[in-house]
Amino acid sequence: MTSKKKEKKPGWKELAEYDLIIGGGTAKDFKTGDWRTKRPVFVPEKCIHCLACWVYCPDAAVIVKEGKVVGFDYEFCKGCGICAHECPVKGKAIMMVSEKEVRDKRPKPEDEKAKK
């Protein structure tokens, strides 16, 4: 039996002087999907639109329109809670809620069919 050795990629320290790194790091190509355990819930009536959540969000998941926070892009949010932590509003304009709680509150497909 032969074992494959994992090829180690060089780190930035191993790059020669004047080497070029093509493309910056960004979260726009990496959707979170539904693996997070918590999600931020926006409470618009408490928001002062200071944009601290937008500044600190590592995944650019805070949606801002015309200088005001309007919600979150859950395809990119990983549920880290930094936005809620950085919110300066007393009583918080962002609450972290468990995904299970959100899933349990969604109408089930069979419930929707029964309404018709």
Domain residues of the chain, as ranges?
A: 30-104
* Closest listed residue to residue 86, CA positions, set 62, 60, 59, 56: 56
Q: Ramachandran region of residue 18, left (φ > 0), alpha (ψ -120 to 50) or beta?
A: left
> Cα separations (Å) of 38 from 27, 35, 78, 80?
19, 9, 8, 8
> φ, ψ for residue 55 (rounded to 5)?
-65, -45
Tens digit of each residue's pLDDT, the chain (116 residues): 566 677 777 777 777 776 666 666 666 677 776 678 999 999 999 999 999 999 999 989 999 999 999 999 999 999 999 999 999 999 999 999 999 888 888 787 766 566 65
Fold of 30-104: Alpha-Beta Plaits (3.30.70)
